[in-house]
Amino acid sequence: MNESSRIRANVKAYLVVDLEATTSNDDSLPKDEMETIEIGAVLVDAHTLEPMGEFQSFVRPVRHPVLTPFCTELTQISQAMVDGAPLFPEALTALCSHTLGERTGVVFASWGKYDMTQLQRDCALHRIPYPMPEHLNLKEELSLVHGQKKRFGMARALAFLGLPLEGTHHRGIDDARNIARMLPWIVGGKRLAR
């Protein structure tokens, strides 16, 4: 039994998380100094694959508090949105209480490993424990399930499945919703009509 099959056998819900982070296109902000500026999450029932709840929060960065023009253009997140936002520890606590609570059998899922790595980086920066349950890389899983050698970006994966992109790409909550819509083809056994 492979890792993802073992995870699916015991899972009660998927916590689909998508993060947006500080970034630049001119190397002025080192990759290892990126900080989360938005957390978007959708909690999905593992049996019905229907959303059970959502969470969204902007996050105020501390290492590089002023967003680059590239970051604002890419994410559509303004400086005012992050200036008035909670710091990462408070936002992460809110995410966990809102979506995880006392639940067991929740698997943290994201499109690739980036979101897991970014959460771990932010936890280390703020010296707080990393609270997430097991991670399921949905990008890798989609390719494995459908026999694709290529690992699709999120927008390309939606097109591959015949689903339109909804909302604003590179906004945490919208991307989390779009990723959650793909779960039937990733973990639910739904096949492509060819």
What whole-number distance in Å separates Cα of residue 157 and Cα of residue 37?
A: 24
Chain segment 108-151, per-residue pLDDT in tens:
999 999 999 999 999 999 999 999 878 999 999 999 999 999 89
- Total domains, the chain: 1
Q: What percent of the chain has a predicted confidence (pLDDT) above 70?
A: 93
DSSP state of 97: I
**Among 9, 38, 80, which residue's Cα sits nearest to residue 176?**
38
Q: Is residue 192 part of a domain?
A: no
For residue 27, what is the domain's CATH number? 3.30.420.10
CA of 71: how far to CAs of 26, 38, 58, 138, 170, in Å?
11, 12, 14, 25, 10
Q: Is residue 139 part of a domain?
A: yes
Q: Is residue 21 part of a domain?
A: yes
The predicted structure's pLDDT at residue 194: 59
The predicted structure's pLDDT at residue 52: 94
Q: Is residue 50 part of a domain?
A: yes
Which residues are registered as beta bridge partners of 36?
21
What whole-number distance in Å separates Cα of residue 154 and Cα of residue 164?
A: 11
Amino acid 172 reads G
Q: Is residue 153 part of a domain?
A: yes
What whole-number distance in Å separates Cα of residue 49 and Cα of residue 58?
A: 26
CA angle 126, 33, 137 (to 5 degrees): 85
Q: Is residue 104 part of a domain?
A: yes
Q: Is residue 83 part of a domain?
A: yes
Domain residues for the domain of 33 are: 3-186
Q: Which ranges of the chain have pLDDT less than 50? A: 1-3, 5-6
Q: Is residue 86 part of a domain?
A: yes
